[in-house]
Structure 1
Amino acid sequence: MKIAHLSTTLSLLVCSIASAQLQWVDPAGGENWNIEGRIWNEPGYGRLPAKAKGKVRNAVWNLGKQSAGLKLRFWSNSPEIHLDYQLAGGLSMPHMAATGVSGFDLYRRTSEGKQFWVAATKPTKTSAKVKLASGLHGNPRVPSLYTLYLPLYNGVKSLKIGVAEGTTITPAKPDALKPIVVYGTSIAQGACASRPGVAWTAILERKLDRPLINLGFSGNGRMETEMADLMVEQDAAVYVIDCLPNLNAKEVQERIKPLLDRIRKTRPKTPLLLVEEAPRANAIWHPNRQSQLNQEWQALKGEFDRRKQTDPNLHYMNGKDILGIDGESTVDAVHPNDIGMMRYAVAYEHALRPILGMENIEVVESVPASPQLREIPGYNFLSRHQEILQRHKKIKPDVVWLGDSIIHFFSGEPKAPYIRGDQAWKKLFNGTQVTNLAYGWDRTENVLWRIQRGELDQISPKLILLSIGTNDLSTGRTPEQVSNAIITLVTEIKQRQPNARLIVTGILPRKTHAKNRLAVNRRLKESAQQQGYEYLDLSPAFPTTEVNGKKLISGMSPDQLHPNTEGYNRMGDLLKSHLDRF
């Protein structure tokens, strides 16, 4: 008995010490925390606002208490992440594991901006305190950006996030970009993903790197006008209607017109995507079901065809090929397994990229558009991106300048951590409203990501300057790859701002990669007329001189890459001369 008592005492002591070594935050009650993935910012972890109760059917209201699509994003340098949570309902369903129904799912961004899975909970009870992840490597002085997806088919009564004592955890700024709003069925809600992060909506959100709001309501996503009234409160990038699995052909015919009328009354120009139901995975054995499905497709396509001539922002997605023909993509012929979820996400990605103006996926082969976190915490790419999107809402510049740290450190707003050419900037632009769209460490794929995520939207500049490519050379890319990447950016810019004057500057002299730099600049000069931009070589501002027997680039800082004040003065004079002449 004494040994047992001593063992219990030691166990309690160990638990007490472990708790004392953690610090906890409560996102629902914490200042500056944002529960993302929903339209309405109200207490708790529900998806619908209080005013929806009594307006939508009870079944919809109750499903709205489930946290599908909700997520928390935060920065932390902790080597371990803990959760203390309480859930509202049952842990699993006969066809869906507890990890998907009730699990919490953690992802983390790399320094190159990619999101990778970290860990997920394995629920065995509705209340638990668990170590979600440990041994997370990284520089303890440098926080990483995490995304925590909430359960797909359960409600969250309470949630705290624990990190190691002495480390930091801070909420990420909410994404200022318009979200994709999906209104659908159990498939959209997430059945039957093995964990929340592999629901097709979550995969799609990561593929496009855009916010998404999940209004999937299991068997109760039924094209109801009450939901249309709620959806349009969000100014969306695109509305997606994917409700056919819950309706027959007659219901589709009766409901689609009132639903679209209600949406278009408030949001007449917002892109809207109508989606067919995918055939069931065992359809080859049930020909009658395919006949019914054809009738549902015809009812939806008929309304699309009637409207398309007068509604150019209405789009259509075929369902025939979503799940493939191998029969391996569902758990029960209807609800996708993880293979099916990936196929859904890929199909949606192909449909949505043209609508969102994101056709160019890569700048060069295997180098997709992406953000970057190469100098956290001293320099936060994502925070600067949000700052620029917010600035666009208030300030409409005549000039914008896209680039890397060379332009970022020149001057202008939003301010850089270092400014080396303030007087030259003021002399060059002389009171003109300019927004500096340059970021330290940027490469062409990062500029593509920024353009596709709104940095040239909401504004109408008369002049756009593009100065990029020196960091691409440092990766070992060939001159052809770098110049092609820059021309890809030209295409993106002209697509969004066809009336703006566009000047592309050559890569400045630098200590290394001289031969490749000159090759890139030659290609940019040769392509200018055909691609519809002006090419400007700023190299004359940085002549090579000899100092104590060493060749140095005049006008450059000691790193022989970034201009000093003198260099910026010369650079500004050259650009001003070009602008005055043309």
Structure 2
Amino acid sequence: MTTGQHWTTPVTPDLLRGFVDVEVTARGLLPHRLTARARRQIPDDQLAMAEAQPSGVRLAFRTRATTIELDTLPTRRVYQGFPPPPDGVYDLLIDGRLTAQASVAGGNVRTVTNMLTQTSVLAEGSAGTARFADLPEGEKDVEIWLPHREMTELIALRTDAPVEQTPPNGRRTWLHHGSSISHGSNADHPTAIWPALAAAEGGVELVNLGFGGSALLDPFTARAMRDIPADLISVKIGINIVNSDVMRLRAFTPAVHGFLDTVREGHPTTPLLVVSAILCPVQEDTPGPLAPDFAGGTLRFKATGDPAERSAGRLTLNIIRDELARLVDQRSADDPNLHYLDGRDLYGEADYAELPLPDEVHPDPAGHRRIAENFARLAFGDGGPFATGTG
């Protein structure tokens, strides 16, 4: 901001929404989506990177400013042998409407050298600025949603008018946990991930614990969810369990019980929705692990397990859906606020025919919109577990 009067506002947790914890760094503030205790128990780089990518995290403030600048240090993840993804997008909303977008060039680059193990190397870079100019005059509520696929260290906020903390809006808080699809894989920008779209439709405040590749019923994630204030909770279970091939049916059932028991310790009567995986034809009846398939020069994924081993406890999406439905039905006798939603009601065979999964696992931007529309209708709509009056 080179001309005229301007204000520099410290970026503090009071300006943030959708985060779980913050880390004070040498440069500024790094939002996290798991607690410090949980982060100390993370066993791999995959989840360590995913939880520090601020999917659903945003700055929120009230101002009359027409120019806003946010200095950040991004850390991007790229895969060796593939072209780098486009720079992450910052969405600026005014009074709830997407009004402007920006990106920050440069930053750190973490190169994943092995897609299966997520081994990576870090090359350090410089900070940059997301700049929003020519914004409407007058007092307004502003949100800046951070890029959902890159770590974002917050350094400084500058405006041409003072900034005030946004007063409470009275909305309910929706805490959601899921896989890379909930994290936002293949969505174009942060407010276009399906949980953000569904939250906007439902009129709720989102806390998104969608972690790419890492919805694995980890006990530390359950403990974090137990301790996060929430009016509505959903847990999307299935795809990562199958495509990582981390457990068999014998371990899966008590792991789900344990996860739900832990969440219920902190939220004994909160509406809790268990959601199974959306349709994923390569894993419906074929066990994992999932492997990259570069046939034809395009990255796709394929299941490598043997369907004949299902009788020995190897998991597929259909097996998990059946078990989740049975388990929720059993538990709901003592827990009337526990509900189940078949993920194929969010994205099923008709949706796949119309909007196929580009890499056989993740939806495209139109797929995110379809999932959000269906979730909003089934969860937040009349008679849904998250309808107004619940929670």
- Give TM-score, length-normalised by structure 2: 0.74
Residue of 198, 206, 212 corresponding to 1:212: 206
- Per the alignment, in what secondary structure is the counterpart of residue 232 of structure 1? helix
CA contact (8 A) 1:190 1:200 kept: yes
Residue of 212, 218, 222 corresponding to 1:228: 222
Distance 1:121 1:175 in 2: 26
- Are 2:70 and 1:71 equivalent residues in the alignment? no
Distance change in 2, residues 1:258/1:331 (3 Å): same
CA contact (8 A) 2:92 2:98 kept: yes
Determine the structure 2 residue equivalent to 1:170: 164
Residue of 157, 161, 183 corresponding to 2:157: 161
Determine the structure 1 residue equivalent to 2:185: 191
Structure 1 residue 85, shift from structure 2 partner: 1.6
Instruction: Deviation per CA, 1:181-209: give whole Å up to 9, x if none.
Output: 11111111111211111011211221122
Distance 2:77 2:41 in 1: 26
Output the amino acid matched with 2:231: A
Range 86-95 or range 229-238, more displaced: 86-95
1:365-384 correspondence to structure 2 within 5 Å: none
Determine the structure 1 residue equivalent to 2:146: 150
* Gapped regions of structure 1 (runs ≥ 5): 1-17, 110-114, 359-451, 458-582
- Per the alignment, in what secondary structure is the counterpart of residue 359 of structure 2? coil
Instruction: Deviation per CA, 1:541-577: give whole Å up to 9, x if none.
Output: xxxxxxxxxxxxxxxxxxxxxxxxxxxxxxxxxxxxx
Instruction: Deviation per CA, 1:348-399: give whole Å up to 9, x if none.
Output: 21232222333xxxxxxxxxxxxxxxxxxxxxxxxxxxxxxxxxxxxxxxxx
Instruction: Deviation per CA, 1:523-542: give whole Å up to 9, x if none.
Output: xxxxxxxxxxxxxxxxxxxx
Distance 1:183 1:227 in 2: 9
Distance 1:179 1:335 in 2: 26
Structure 1 residue 337, shift from structure 2 partner: 1.7
- Are 2:323 and 1:299 equivalent residues in the alignment? yes
Determine the structure 1 residue equivalent to 2:386: 356
Output the amino acid matched with 1:121: A
Distance change in 2, residues 1:27/1:218 (3 Å): farther
Determine the structure 1 residue equivalent to 2:86: 98
Q: Which of the pair is proportionally richer in strand?
A: 2
Determine the structure 2 residue equivalent to 1:83: 70
Determine the structure 2 residue equivalent to 1:245: 239
- Per the alignment, in what secondary structure is the counterpart of residue 15 of structure 2? coil
Distance 1:81 1:152 in 2: 20
Distance change in 2, residues 1:123/1:38 (3 Å): closer
Range 44-53 or range 143-152, more displaced: 44-53
Structure 1 residue 92, shift from structure 2 partner: 8.6
Structure 1 residue 88, shift from structure 2 partner: 2.7
- Per the alignment, in what secondary structure is the counterpart of residue 316 of structure 1? strand
- Per the alignment, in what secondary structure is the counterpart of residue 77 of structure 2? coil
- Per the alignment, in what secondary structure is the counterpart of residue 261 of structure 1? helix
Determine the structure 2 residue equivalent to 1:10: none
Distance 2:323 2:70 in 1: 47
Determine the structure 2 residue equivalent to 1:137: 136
Structure 1 residue 72, shift from structure 2 partner: 0.7
Residue of 348, 358, 363 corresponding to 1:336: 363
- Are 2:31 and 1:51 equivalent residues in the alignment? no
Distance change in 2, residues 1:288/1:22 (3 Å): farther
Distance 1:95 1:230 in 2: 35
Residue of 97, 106, 116 corresponding to 1:125: 106
Instruction: Deviation per CA, 1:184-239: give whole Å up to 9, x if none.
Output: 11111111211111011211221122111111111111112221111111232122
Determine the structure 2 residue equivalent to 1:36: 17
Distance 2:153 2:379 in 1: 34
CA contact (8 A) 1:89 1:155 kept: yes
Distance 1:301 1:287 in 2: 16
Distance change in 2, residues 1:338/1:92 (3 Å): farther
Identity %: 22
Distance 2:147 2:52 in 1: 11
1:471-490 correspondence to structure 2 within 5 Å: none
Distance 1:128 1:50 in 2: 25
- Per the alignment, in what secondary structure is the counterpart of residue 33 of structure 2? coil
Distance change in 2, residues 1:25/1:221 (3 Å): farther
Distance 1:92 1:33 in 2: 35
Structure 1 residue 64, shift from structure 2 partner: 2.1
Distance 2:15 2:204 in 1: 16
CA RMSD of aligned residues (A): 2.9
Distance change in 2, residues 1:273/1:96 (3 Å): farther
- Per the alignment, in what secondary structure is the counterpart of residue 253 of structure 2? helix
Distance 1:96 1:355 in 2: 41
Residue of 12, 25, 28 corresponding to 2:8: 25
Structure 1 residue 286, shift from structure 2 partner: 8.0
Output the amino acid matched with 2:372: A
- Per the alignment, in what secondary structure is the counterpart of residue 353 of structure 2? coil
CA contact (8 A) 1:91 1:125 kept: no
Distance 1:254 1:83 in 2: 46
Distance 2:57 2:285 in 1: 38
Structure 1 residue 253, shift from structure 2 partner: 2.7
- Per the alignment, in what secondary structure is the counterpart of residue 19 of structure 1? coil
CA contact (8 A) 1:26 1:159 kept: no
Range 262-271 or range 34-43, more displaced: 34-43
- Per the alignment, in what secondary structure is the counterpart of residue 352 of structure 2? coil
Distance change in 2, residues 1:267/1:122 (3 Å): closer
Distance 1:243 1:95 in 2: 31
Output the amino acid matched with 1:25: T
Determine the structure 2 residue equivalent to 1:319: 343
Distance 1:310 1:253 in 2: 18
CA contact (8 A) 1:244 1:252 kept: no
Determine the structure 1 residue equivalent to 2:267: 267
CA contact (8 A) 2:238 2:317 kept: no
Distance change in 2, residues 1:91/1:198 (3 Å): farther
- Are 2:257 and 1:257 equivalent residues in the alignment? yes
Distance change in 2, residues 1:103/1:268 (3 Å): same
- Give TM-score, length-normalised by structure 1: 0.51
- Per the alignment, in what secondary structure is the counterpart of residue 90 of structure 1? strand
Determine the structure 2 residue equivalent to 1:6: none
> Larger Rg: 1 or 2?
1
The runs of at least 4 consecutive aligned structure 1 residues that moved more than 6 Å come to: none
Distance 2:342 2:200 in 1: 22
The structure whose RCO (Cα within 8 Å, separation 6+) is larger is 2
Range 343-352 or range 319-328, more displaced: 319-328
CA contact (8 A) 1:84 1:129 kept: yes
CA contact (8 A) 1:329 1:338 kept: no
Distance 1:57 1:278 in 2: 27
Output the amino acid matched with 1:46: H
